[in-house]
Amino acid sequence: MEKYRVKPGNKVRIKDWDPDDRSAFDVTKEQAKTKLIALNKKLEALQEILYAEHKHKVLIVIQAMDTAGKDSVIRSVFEGVNPQGVRVASFKAPTPEELDHDYLWRVHKETPGKGQIVVFNRSHYEDVLVVRVHQLVPEDVWKNRYRQINEFERTLVQEGTTLLKFYLNINLADQKKRLQDRLDDETKHWKFNVEDLKERRLWKQYMKAYEDAMEKTSTPWAPWYIIPSRTKWYRNLVIAATLVKALSRLELRYPPAAPELKKIIIR
């Protein structure tokens, strides 16, 4: 999965990343479904040990433009995992209380505890994306946040968190098709938000904001992955494989049994 990783210090131009790339897995759609089921089972087993060991923490950040499939990724990749140890945190417009604090305040309290996997559906990166595009704070303020975010993420990692960040890559034409699908299918009308059309007009500004964010915050301790997301099953397969690989590196172990268990006899 290293081909999708943004190397620290490299320039990022999203147009150079093909949203329809499928070169990491030479599989058909049906083969991919079978492989994803196998990865789901591996993830389920690893997550159970992670929860039992109560040592490591895992934070997954998912960012994307509207219709790229954030919710779908969460449903598909984490199917079957124990909800007791996995939690999804979504970040929308800040509340008045959140605005009274620094922008990372609401984020920090949602980060995982020991034994937990937490998925951020949008994240602290909104404060260098939406905030920048809509000019909600001065430029010198949001520019300073890249350094603050790197320091924040470094602290999390040094305190035992494995941190992976995924940008789901689609283009303007892909988004148009998916928005039209929502209009054409009455079962998807609930997904359609007129405000998405206003954001769509700012596509170029968002692409520049994403490029700068990934360029400045893809670090050895908290890498960004640009995931081809035109083909949904391939997107899910790549993310699942990346997560399983990252969790496998932790060398998870069930905790040793307490010595007194050997003396217990159940009658």
**Residue 264 is assigned to a structural domain of this protein:** no
CA–CA distance, 169 with 15 (Å, rounded to integer): 10
**Residue 222 is assigned to a structural domain of this protein:** yes
Question: How many domains is the chain built from?
Answer: 1
Is the Cβ–Cβ distance between 17 and 235 less than 8 Å? no
The predicted-structure confidence for 66-86, as pLDDT tens digits, reads as follows 999 999 999 999 988 888 899
User: For the chain, what is the mean pLDDT?
Assistant: 95
- Element (DSSP H or E) covering residue 249: none
CA–CA distance, 215 with 238 (Å, rounded to integer): 21
pTM of the full predicted structure? 0.94
**Residue 257 is assigned to a structural domain of this protein:** no
Given this model, what pLDDT does residue 23 score?
95
**Residue 260 is assigned to a structural domain of this protein:** no
**Residue 263 is assigned to a structural domain of this protein:** no
CATH number reported for the structural domain that contains residue 34 in this entry: 3.40.50.300
- Tell me which residue range forms the domain holding 83: 2-250
